[in-house]
Amino acid sequence: MFVKGDEIFINELAMRPHNSGHWTIEGSRTSQFEQHLRAILDLPLGDPSMTDEVAVMGNILGKDKTDMYRPYLHLMARNPSLKFHMYAKEVRPGRKIGHVNIIGKDLVELRTEIEHAIDYMSGEIDE
């Protein structure tokens, strides 16, 4: 959303939970999904405060790699703080097949962990 003088310019409206808010699953006391249900059921909205100082989300895109099980297990063992949400979609290059969240205190550290997870899941790096 952009404001110019007394005009408001909006790029997109999504009358549903949106990908950009998936961080709220772990990062907010009330996720966007619960808030959506509360709103459509005319219930009071929940507490939107964060569960920690920083929340980072990254999209997992399909590449040529089709075996997502082994990388998933490796990353879960390497860093239990990573929270994966896989969509059980057929893996195709460029297709969003999931996302990963992490919460904590250090933005740089968390971004590094998310980037590593995404690169490893896609086969860009190997350990």
37-71 pLDDT, tens per residue? 999 999 999 999 999 999 999 999 988 766 778 88
- What pLDDT does 13 receive? 79
Q: How many other CB atoms are there within 10 angstroms of residue 84's CB atom?
A: 15
- Give the Cα separation of 72 and 52 in Å (integer): 24
- What pLDDT does 90 receive? 87
Measure Cα distances from 88 to 14, 29, 53, 76, 103 in Å. Answer: 23, 26, 30, 17, 24
3-class secondary structure, 106? coil
Mean pLDDT (the chain) is 91
Q: Which DSSP string do the residues of 25-92 spell out, in sequence order? A: HHHBSS-HHHHHHHHHTTPPP----BSSSEEEEEEEE--S----HHHHHHHHHH-TT-EEEE--PPP-
Phi, psi of 76 (to 5 degrees): -65, -40
Model pTM score: 0.83
The structural domains of the chain, ordered by start, are 2-122 (3.30.470.20)
